Amino acid sequence: MFLNKIEIYDTTLRDGGQSEGISFSVNDKMKIIHLLDELGVDYIEAGWPGANPKDIEVFEQAKSLKLKNAKITAFGCTRKANGKAEVDAVLNQLIDSGTEIITIFGKAWDFHVEHALCTTLEENLNMIYDSVVYLKSKNKRVFFDAEHFYDGFKKNRDYALKAIESAYKAGAERIILCDTNGGCLPVEMKEITEEAEKFLPDAIIGIHAHNDSDTAVANSIIAVQAGARQVQGTFNGYGERCGNANLCSIIPALQLKLGFEIIGENVKGLVSVSRQISEIANKKANDHAPYVGRSSFTHKAGVHASGVAKNSSTYEHINPETVGNIRQIVISDQSGLASLKDKISGINLERELTNDDMRKILERIKELEWQGFTFEDADASFELMVRDVMGVKPRYFELKGFRVVSDTRGIDPLNTEASVKVKIGNEIIHTVSEGEGPGHALDSALRLALKPSYPKIERFKLSDFKVRILDGTDGSSSKTRVHVETSDGYEKWDTVGVSRNILEAAYLAIVDSLDYGLFMLNEVPQNILTMNKS
């Protein structure tokens, strides 16, 4: 039975976007918003309005979103020192963002007030108070992030408390205590959070922890036990420096182990959302991450495997299926069969699969994943692979060869030209097309060849294209994975290709995207042998 509700405030799109090597596009942010909403988080911080053109467009698109669970929030800061809230550019951009909820941060550490803001302690309190009052006057709900609260408390307890008191008296609905430098340890976190709770007993307190001491998850959980009712964090722990508190660990710990109400049955989707976000961020998923990592519930031969076979509780702290993960016994050919059956159940193969069929599919998955394929965010490629193993994959064309050439043509920008030769039925078709890059040129040439036979292909558009080097140790000969998202204007599907040749990887992903789209539209293959019988 759940004890009470803890709010989850996700800041992957802002704090997470500050992680080294991550640069979310507008499309990336919109996809993540939908994933988080479906999962059931309470608040999604979409960015800082006005900070850059991407965030401006995100908030514009967000105005028309129909979300089921989450509310979009805008992030910014208090008014400038010695200024007026009514004419402050940042505050007015926050208002113009159109969100119901606005989160602003202000200084809670006297050291920062005097050396970063270069203003007086009293003026900083006025900045906090005036900003909250002004936003409230515009019918906005306001959350206040007390930046550097824990460091401030340790250095000047009275002033840190005055900072959060100013925000609370001005009407802030949530007072979030921030361990901005990530240096707080759990024993300090508990004591300081309890002090803040006693000081503002009627306020709803939140926690925002960074991971510089590798304690962000523990600090967040302890803060909740000390009275916090909102947890801010990011998926996969993304964030600048050492990252933010990892919601992938916090959510199951609070819900499954401490009995708090978080996201209910949606916790089963945690692994899927975590891995999809890592793909969108173009970051390799951490295989050893607690709860959501691929190795989190993997056991090798020996005492562990023997114990788990008898009773999973011997070496597993939770049932992996609770969060959408799977148990794997590395040496067993039964590894993952139950989970695989569940995944395949949504594919209409027109006959029930036998255990022998499942083993063949599992062996193909293992072989392809060893090569570098991943189907976590490529359901279309997964279905085509299953159909290929079962001998019912449609063959719309046969590749006879392709070629891609790039040159500068003097002073002009780099030009790319692709030619493809395919066989459809008994006809050999050879087409040539130019593009903005190798992937675009190859896609264009292939569509040009297929369009006369399959005119519906004109509906398809590559809406996303990502490239990842799988193993940097081999330099330019490293394996490359290409992930492609395709849309026909109504549906979207994801495909993947892997090769040491980046062009072949792109070709494999693009071909899967076209094959799946044609199959989804019930196109009839024009080849004499329409199905693979191998």
Domain segments of the chain as ranges: 7-280, 297-332, 333-395+460-534, 397-453
DSSP letter string, 397-442: -EEEEEEEEEE--TTSPPEEEEEEEEEETTEEEEEEEEESSHHHHH
Distance of alpha carbon 403 from alpha carbon 503, whole angstroms: 9
Mean pLDDT of 460-472: 81
Quick one: tokens of 234?
């990011």
> What's the N-to-C CA distance of the chain in angstroms?
53
**What would the CATH number be for the domain defined by 397-453?**
3.30.160
What pLDDT score was predicted for residue 335? Answer: 44
d(C-alpha 483, C-alpha 240), whole Å: 26
CATH number of 297-332: 4.10.430.20
Burial of 122 (0-12, 13-18, 19+ CB in 10 A): exposed
CATH code, 333-395+460-534: 3.30.160.340
As given in the structure block, the two tokens for residue 18 are 């500050």
CA atoms of 322 and 263, how far apart (whole Å): 12
Residue-wise burial string across 182-192, b where 16 or more C-beta atoms lie within 10 A, e elsewhere: bebeeebbbeb
H or E stretch at 55 = helix 53-62
Question: What pLDDT, in 10s, does the model give residues 237-275?
Answer: 999 999 999 999 999 999 999 999 999 999 999 999 999
User: What pLDDT is recorded for position 86?
Assistant: 97
Of 54-63, 193-202, 254-263, 412-421, minimum mean pLDDT range: 412-421
The CATH number corresponding to 7-280 among 3.40.50.10210, 3.40.640.10, 3.20.20.70, 3.40.30.10 equals: 3.20.20.70
Mean pLDDT of the chain, nearest integer: 89
Does the reported pTM lie above 0.85?
no
Asked if the domains 333-395+460-534 and 397-453 are classified in one and the same CATH topology, the answer is yes
DSSP H or E run through 77: strand 71-77
pLDDT band at 470 (very low <50, low <70, confident <90, very high): confident
Q: What angle do CA 48, 32, 263 make, to 5 degrees?
A: 105
